[in-house]
Amino acid sequence: MIDINRQGDTESSSFDTTSSSSNNFVNIDSEGDQHNINLNVDKSLINSDENNYYPSTEKDNDTILSQIYKKLILSDAIVMSKSDVYAKLKHVATSPRIREQAINNLVKDKLLVVGDWFSSKNTKGIIYSTGYLKGYPENDAQNQIQFANTLAKYAIDFFDFEQSFRKDEVVGIPRTLGASDIKQSKWLYSQALMDRALSSNFLRERLVIDPSAVVGLSNIKSQPKRVRKQKKIYTPPDQK
């Protein structure tokens, strides 16, 4: 709507622009002529459009990334499948791009170790599934300092990281991982995970894997066929 009030004529004029929360006004004022023009532009609609075009800022992404890092590294899950990771992050990261960026960053800095940590068996042999193992330092002081510095890069304290190996405050260290710790019922742990846990002093002091929860080559070796003994045929004694 345009509302124009005219008063007299003039040769010169000056412009004054004012605004309200809902409309823009242009006031053309001179000695004998005044125009008040209501442009009828709702600024809230403009702001709303801007928010629609830019729904996420860099600061928001950094906050989400920080939440993902702590959710994964400080989780009491020491070994996670890909579906475990996605389930943990479903309420934190709705963007697959941000989620994958966070995981890649942790893998690059060796705070998550990718490997075939899960396995199963069928009639053809052993099959493997990729998962994520928490990163770890060696037990010497220099390695632990370097690892602590890497954790600090993600705003994570080394003490909190160590405590995450406990399932709860009651269960002590070392912690035993069994089949009940695996979310997918068709999978068990792999021999590769067992070997990795035994090869690291840091993991060996904090982690024990129940052998009954591990699929190894010995589990599927075919048993030798049993040789049936030939049954003796009963022959009645000669009757005299």
The model's pLDDT over 60-85, given as tens digits with 9 standing for 90+, comes to 888 999 999 999 999 999 999 999 99
What pTM did the predictor assign? 0.65
In tens, the pLDDT along 158-189 reads 999 999 998 776 667 889 999 999 988 889 99
Chain-centre distance for alpha carbon 221: 37
Confidence band of 128 (pLDDT split at 50, 70, 90): very high
Strand partners, 133: 79, 113
Residue position matching structure tokens 């600090």:
152
* Model pLDDT, residue 184: 82
pLDDT of 49 strictly over 50: no
Residue 159 makes CB contacts below 8 A (sequence gap 6+) with none
Q: Which residues pair with 207 in a beta bridge?
A: 175
DSSP bridge pairs for 15:
28
Hey, what amino acid is at 53?
Answer: Y
Q: Domain extents for the chain? A: 14-52, 58-219
- The token duo for 78 is 């020491």
Q: What is the DSSP letter of 236?
A: P
Taking alpha carbons only, the member of 192, 71, 202 closest to residue 135 is: 202
Location of structure tokens 């600024």: 43
